[in-house]
Amino acid sequence: MISKPKVLMIVTLDTKAVEAGFIRQILESEGVDVVHLDASIRVSIDPNVEISPEAIAAAAGTTLQAVRDLRHEGKSQAVMTEGAVKCALEAHAKHPFSGIIGVGGSMGTSLGCVVMQAFPYGMPKVMVSTMASGFTRPFVGAKDIIMVNPVCDIAGLNSITRDVFRNAAIAVAAIARNYSPVRREPKPLIAMTTLSTTDSCTVRVRKLLEKKGFEVMVFHTLGTGGAAMDQIVTERDVAAVVDLSLVEINDYLNNGLCSAGPDRAKAALAKGVPTIFAPGNADFMVAGPIDAAKQQFAGKRYHMHNAALTAVRADAPELEKLAQHMGSLIKDAKGPVTFFVPLKGFSHHDSPEGYLHDPSLPPVFAAAIRKALPEGVPVVEFDCHINDAEFADALVEQVMAFIGQRESV
């Protein structure tokens, strides 16, 4: 007998028993088995639930009563989240899940999404959340989580929420029935970063590498893209990284909107994956609407990308700070690293056709990065723009040189 796909359902019964029962019914009618993870704290409703609150607390090294005795929702949530992740992964190891669905407000969404983030890319993850129409980045992070807005509060069933819950359950069940774990491609994998302002370079590099038999994953560096790449590098066998867009690092250093945090770019360096860096998009920081940008970055040059985003020119101090930071990261690299610097501009904005062009600044960064990098890490300068074909072709040649070195070991 062929076993049915299993879906992990994350819903707290102490506040959402009606919703949990409804979603379970839909999932089972769609041909999947349900493993219910109930992280309730207030009261245990169903002793027969597959993953009980007591089991979750025990997995975190405590008891449910001790969690209640904390009398602090944030501290209690942290304990139950820790236990929920452990319980979910243990259950998955015994009988693999083919999908995950969660329902919650801010607390349930936080716990549910942390559990979802512990599971691989490609596995369907659907979160019905009252937070879905707001700022979702803290919950989704760099993972492929689908957020569904319930429209109404999650407080019983009505003509709208029935449809929302039904749609979400049918969606995750349908994907689960067709899900299979990630199949490793026979092609070696190259990871690369970009923004639209370096897209000409990225497209040429990608097409040339694909012709040479590589799979190329391109990540959009607006805060989560680089973090997603770093996670992929950690999880998968990546042949080389072409880190072409450093705006997320620049924004981290200068409080821009697209910061990916202090660990951005560390994954490949720590794992020893051959890496090529280039200062793509380092000519600007990303700020909010133009008035806010002018207040945050007073006295700078600005380009209003749209009503919500402004590119703020990075001048010599910011470029020198970026070079010093990159040097501090690269000194701990366990694999080969090369830094390419195009001396005629770092993005479309930094070109004769752009709005923030300053030909005096790329040499400033080149000098700073030469000084900041440890001995043995080459800095290769090019008398061209980052979007010129010459630069893209050089990146491809360096990738092939790295691959050759790797294969000869």
Q: pLDDT for 80-137, tens place per residue? A: 999 999 999 999 999 999 999 999 998 999 999 999 999 998 999 999 999 998 778 8
Question: If pLDDT is split at 50, 70 and 90, which confidence band does 43 have?
Answer: confident
Q: Are 350 and 311 in contact (CB under 8 A)?
A: no
* Residues whose CB falls within 8 Å of the CB of residue 336, separated by 6 or more in sequence, listed in order: 274, 275, 402, 405
Phi, psi at 332, each rounded to 5°: -100, 10
Is the residue at 182 inside a domain?
no
For the stretch 334-377, pLDDT in tens is: 999 999 999 999 999 999 999 999 999 999 999 999 999 999 99
Same domain, 267 and 375: yes
| Owning domain of residue 70 | 6-177
Structure tokens at 310: 């402004």
Q: Are 59 and 52 in contact (CB under 8 A)?
A: no
Q: How high is the pLDDT of residue 48?
A: 84
Q: How high is the pLDDT of residue 322?
A: 98
* Sheet strands side by side (includes 33-37): 33-37, 6-10, 97-104, 125-129, 146-148
Query: Residue 243: which H helix or E strand, with range?
Result: strand 238-245
For the stretch 276-308, pLDDT in tens is: 999 999 999 999 999 999 999 999 999 999 999
What share of the chain has pLDDT > 90, as a percent? 86
Find where tokens 């690369």 sit.
192
Q: How high is the pLDDT of residue 408?
A: 59
Q: What is the arithmetic mean of pLDDT over 322-333?
A: 97
Going by DSSP bridges, is the β-strand pair 284-287/189-194 parallel, antiparallel, or unpaired?
Answer: unpaired
Q: What is the mean pLDDT of the chain?
A: 94
Domain boundary among 177, 207, 224: 177
Number of domains in the chain: 2
Is the residue at 227 inside a domain?
yes
Q: Are 143 and 125 in contact (CB under 8 A)?
A: yes
Same domain, 238 and 155: no
User: What CATH number is attached to the domain comprising 344?
Assistant: 3.40.50.12030
Calculate the alpha carbon distances from 165 to 110, 111, 152, 211 in Å.
19, 19, 11, 44
Q: How high is the pLDDT of residue 406?
A: 66
Same domain, 241 and 304: yes
Is the residue at 184 inside a domain?
no
Question: If pLDDT is split at 50, 70 and 90, which confidence band does 183 have?
Answer: low
Same domain, 167 and 290: no
Answer with the residue of higher pLDDT: 357 or 180.
357
| Residue 28 reports pLDDT greater than 60 | yes
